[in-house]
Structure 1
């Protein structure tokens, strides 16, 4: 089975606003508006805040277990950033068994924890792994279809790809939620927890007309998707700003759930962890020919604001999480290539592809047209010069340092051994003459993954590690699965898999908590 590099599906956003998903949402919107306008004070067993991958799962599971469920969503459609995913993690599934894939869960746990330096919660990981295969079966019973179990880069074969990708998955889950009797209220964000004697009593929401809705419920499940769209929180906790980063994902992830949890006395777990990827030239779409050439090829040379190399550049296409970390730690980053390198990509093909956008070996025939288009728009992230002295002046990098960096790199290429950072010899291609091209890269990120501290039941915990009665956090509102980096090279699809499984954990525990 072939290995697949992650193929982030930005085209889903265009699809979303035009066809199947928005059309299918109309039924939920009408029901939600009727509930919010006609019943300003509502009661339920459970309120789920956020109708993405985690929230839809929690709501369906809770309804299946006999609970009266209200599912709130601030956008006019369900799905969250799950719409942009391709698949999810599971271990021990029937797909893996049928493919002859035998993964030792204990060994996998150890590998993940060594990757995380034992910073993540092993008890959560154990439960997640053990439940994941059964969750695949549960999803199939709901109508979700999978195409295969595959890889992401060099990961273990755990990535269960959705039929129709993210929007196909959300379509099935949306229909399943309505069929299960979930009261889906769109354009109705959760605003404030209502607590009484330290226990959840309900929640205040707001309809699209700005009117408050009081919902009385003893259980609230937070599933609002983290805080990727909140610049203040991103700067405070992650250390990035809109000026030095590029965010990919659906709108609305402004930390609502995390802030509600904190207001109730919750603790956090590695709140500043995010899923970074190896950089992007601002103003261009992820995965087009210009992106593929400027930010993804292992033969490029990365230099920072001082004109110095700082990493093995091939990690951009082999471990996007690590390459993102490396770029984030610099003040400025430039991808340096010469025209001969770019001509090779056009005439012979790219060395590493970007999955569903540009396959490995694709001739980047649109590259120069896309460069010209960006230059015509005034994109100062692209600079072209005949000499390194001229290029260094254009990007405000010390000329002597840049020339020394390139000279050393060319020496490594001649020797066939990168004595700086150990790049594989097959990726060492010397660049000795211009014209020179510089592409300034900002760090990219898909989502935050640090959040409220939870236990294996998705119960939100205080600093004393006691559960806040009736409060649960799921998906990227919950911390515990990761340390400081996303484990993309081991457990492909783990973020989406955690969203689904944690949603089930919360619903299953809520039934016990309510004694039903």
Structure 2
């Protein structure tokens, strides 16, 4: 049997934050990762934790208060507000951020994104932070062990692009600043491709995963890949370790202080999705292949609770699908890049608008669920596609025709023809566009308020006036892309308390067992206050778990010394 202080199962933001924290507090830590790649769902994400009262916002002259953050969370969560979890989060989130910046290579930069429910009391800006780009070359050979982003979110196979790149790249042939920025990014990529066979400029969630992975290595955390956890070792009701499989051998690991479940939810588990997700047969997940609910299953064997009322909670996003000739399917998440821009509309199966297209991805799909829609369409004209792109179809100078030929985009000369091709009522679609265009010419959207609320206004094209989110659809030819309900991750994990301790059916902590990230039943309970409302709590409760484990060690040492005395 192998012994260590802490075993962390999973290597996303929650697991690696906990591992780094525990190691910095003097504990011996082993991270076991089921797949051959570290980073989990975090590596696919935007890498923006939602952290109230963070010190980073002060860099751009903004401030926040705990009272405002609590007021906002009470308004967003309503009856789902959990005093213990929320208080623990608000007491520790900013401290976690400061700790990680002091004791690791994790860094964040300010981003004045408004909270997603920006009209509610207590809403603020810059609670969502961005991860600065990371030089993947620092990882050396270990770069190959880091999960890459989804290929469909990169250019030329491995060129990563962050939000700050989009505007200058769109204007690469229109302004000197745009050309200079694009040339710099392209030059770096070409050199990387020649020397390393791939891009090494890491951004967004891949940069966060890389910074955590790099910090864990430097801190002396032991990291095992291709090591699935088979079962928890439970003695007298307490979790004492975990049985894993490594190099075809079953190895028992004794965890002297605790085991943290951070395996990343169950998005890749078809059976669990069929049980918990609305309209599961029409629903598409973007989670990595290893996220099959291992942490949830392990916890249940030790007496944990998987709350059926929240088991199906997810971070929703509309998804478009490209079906390739080999039968594989490419899933593209329409987070905000296209649908928030001026000049497009989303229509339901009757050809009517049904939502503010610039709303959060969570609200967009939740509205689809509430209305019973399993497929809607995003519609724009050729000028829009050339300027902003549409899903997988990139802006000019890329050509959208291959996506039309593949059936991903529907093209038509007139709205009537488009309506026939996407099977909606032609008169209704024409009426919808006409009504939208009349107000859009004035920069208005009286029906859904796109570009009026702080969030959708921020997400729009800031060079377009008077409303960054609204412009007429314009003349043909027209394009449509089908959008389906999807998710970026599940968040309905095991019930815990504010110390990240996993609870049993009697609401008592199971000794030695913790959960964070997607294995923990989210304190947000399926709501989504702002960008990074999963990553922020994941890192914070990973940090809380590690500190609680370390404090437990201190209490044990104090007791031992007292007995000796």
TM-score bracket, normalised by the shorter chain, equals: 0.7 to 0.9
Q: Secondary structure at the match of 1:116?
A: helix
CA distance in 1, matches of 2:269, 2:374: 21
C-alpha displacement at 1:240, in angstroms? 5.0
Aligned match of 2:2: 42
Q: Secondary structure at the match of 1:471?
A: strand
Contact 2:38-2:213 at 8 Å conserved across structures: yes
String of CA shifts for 1:389-439, please: whole Å, max 9, x gaps: 433332233445444444544555578764543445845544586443221
Aligned counterpart for 1:275 among listed residues 315, 320, 335: 315
Aligned match of 2:255: 217
Quick check: 407-416 or 430-439, which moved more? 407-416
Quick check: 409-418 or 263-272, which moved more? 409-418
Long gaps (5+) in structure 1: 1-40
String of CA shifts for 1:195-239, please: whole Å, max 9, x gaps: 233221322211243x32222335221011112222222232122
Contact 1:49-1:220 at 8 Å conserved across structures: yes
CA distance in 2, matches of 1:230, 1:63: 32
C-alpha displacement at 1:287, in angstroms? 8.5
Q: CA RMSD in A?
A: 3.3
Aligned match of 2:373: 330
Is 1:299–2:343 an aligned residue pair? Answer: yes
String of CA shifts for 1:211-270, please: whole Å, max 9, x gaps: 3222233522101111222222223212254x6344335442111101211222222352
Q: Secondary structure at the match of 1:56?
A: helix
Contact 1:305-1:331 at 8 Å conserved across structures: no
Contact 1:194-1:202 at 8 Å conserved across structures: yes
Aligned match of 1:457: 499
Contact 1:279-1:327 at 8 Å conserved across structures: no
CA distance in 1, matches of 2:217, 2:443: 60
Aligned match of 1:421: 448
Is 1:312–2:312 an aligned residue pair? Answer: no
Quick check: 450-459 or 158-167, which moved more? 158-167
CA distance in 1, matches of 2:79, 2:390: 32
Is 1:135–2:177 an aligned residue pair? Answer: no
TM-score (norm 1): 0.77
CA distance in 1, matches of 2:383, 2:57: 41
Long gaps (5+) in structure 2: 116-123, 135-202, 324-329, 453-466, 558-565
Aligned match of 1:56: 16
TM-score (norm 2): 0.71
Q: Judging changes above 3 Å, is the alpha-carbon distance between structure 1 residues 260 and 298 closer, same or farther for their aligned structure 2 residues?
A: farther
Is 1:151–2:112 an aligned residue pair? Answer: yes
Q: Secondary structure at the match of 2:485?
A: strand
Q: Secondary structure at the match of 1:138?
A: helix
String of CA shifts for 1:321-357, please: whole Å, max 9, x gaps: 21232245512101223x4xx32553xx44x999xx9
Contact 1:448-1:476 at 8 Å conserved across structures: yes
Quick check: 217-226 or 295-304, which moved more? 295-304
Is 1:227–2:266 an aligned residue pair? Answer: yes
String of CA shifts for 1:340-390, please: whole Å, max 9, x gaps: xx32553xx44x999xx99xxxx93136x1x211123x32x4222344443
Aligned match of 1:343: 383
Q: Secondary structure at the match of 1:268?
A: coil
Contact 2:342-2:471 at 8 Å conserved across structures: no
Quick check: 404-413 or 95-104, which moved more? 404-413
Aligned counterpart for 1:497 among listed residues 502, 520, 536: 536
C-alpha displacement at 1:309, in angstroms? 2.4
CA distance in 1, matches of 2:491, 2:20: 23
C-alpha displacement at 1:458, in angstroms? 0.2
Aligned counterpart for 1:96 among listed residues 43, 47, 57: 57
Aligned match of 2:300: 262
C-alpha displacement at 1:188, in angstroms? 0.3
Is 1:393–2:420 an aligned residue pair? Answer: yes
Q: How does 1:80-229 map to 2 (within 5 A)?
A: 80-84=40-44, 85-146=46-107, 148-152=109-113, 156-163=125-132, 164=134, 165=203, 166-209=205-248, 211-217=249-255, 219-229=258-268
